[in-house]
Amino acid sequence: MPGNERMFMINGAASCLEVQGGVDGPIVLLVGSSMLSWPNELCKRLVAGGRRVIRYDVRDTGRSESYPPGEPGYSLADLVDDAVGVLDATATERAHVVGMSTGGWIAQLLALGHPERVATLTLIASRPNAPGPVDDDLPEHDEALMEVIMNTPAPDWSDERAVVDYLVLQARTFAGAGAFDQASARAHAEAEVARTTDVQCATTNIAFADHGPRWRERLGEITAPTLVLHGEDDPFFPIGNGEALAAEIPDARLVRLGRAGHRLPAHAVPVVADELLAHTSD
């Protein structure tokens, strides 16, 4: 296991996390799916800017606890408790919390349920409601993306090359009309396969978890200063979702990421890093 990665038992589940940066800087907690959701270059820029960066594998991803396909042994509320557990395990009283995609749900609920632990909130490529039917005023998943997701046969999960090809196709689809680098996507997919206990579960199990009650109507209760970053070309959670988050969270600021889909392409990393350094400066 790489030197910065450590295993903890958090809420009865094995969790893999990584801490970078000095001990005295503002602490940034990155919540995605696996820790590889966050580009290394982004982490380097945050550390160079004086931040202490914590990222971790959410259950069913990376080296953290894995469950049978379609049978996640956790709820969304458990994943929120896990985020609190990561803060406790690293002796972090308060952190600047950054949630991306489904990690944005965890971050929103963390800010609502544990406001004393959240210094600031940043939501990247997220939306204000969980899997399932979207609210009438929010944009649906892009039809072309759903066509690929629903009609692409699953790979032989025991064939690493086939799994990598499948993940690259997913990455291409999630990029939408935004920038896409085939070589970078393949390198990322290979890294994910190399360190993930069960890639099938990592890509699907979150959809089967109990997501609990709606929380969109509670967004006005969030007190943490909030930044919303959203790709203009996001086909999975189209930008109307980011606009809704920014409109409904008090005093939130929306930054649109040009030529960016649902993940962070290389050209967006410096912009995101600069925005995060400015937002977490206090």
Band (pLDDT 50/70/90 cuts) for residue 143 is very high
Number of domains composing the chain: 1
Instruction: Indicate if the pLDDT at residue 3 is higher than 90.
Output: no
| Nearest by Cα to 176 from 260, 104, 256, 243 | 260
pLDDT at 133: 86
Neighbours of 11 (CB within 10 A): 15
Asked whether 29 and 87 are in contact (CB, 8 A), the reply is: yes
Band (pLDDT 50/70/90 cuts) for residue 131 is confident
Total count of residues recorded for the chain: 282
Instruction: Indicate if the pLDDT at residue 195 is higher than 80.
Output: yes
Instruction: Indicate if the pLDDT at residue 201 is higher than 90.
Output: yes
Write out pLDDT tens, residues 213-241: 999 999 999 999 999 999 999 999 999 99
pLDDT at 46: 98
Query: Cα dist. 256→37, 43, 64 in Å?
Result: 19, 21, 32
Instruction: Indicate if the pLDDT at residue 1 is higher than 90.
Output: no
Q: Going edge to edge, which strands form the sheet with 253-257?
A: 5-10, 13-20, 52-56, 27-31, 95-100, 118-124, 226-231, 253-257
Average pLDDT estimate for 186-204: 97
| Nearest by Cα to 236 from 265, 212, 260 | 260
CATH code of residue 266: 3.40.50.1820
Asked whether 128 and 99 are in contact (CB, 8 A), the reply is: no
Residues of the domain holding 56: 5-279
pLDDT at 178: 97
**Percent of the chain surpassing pLDDT 70:** 100
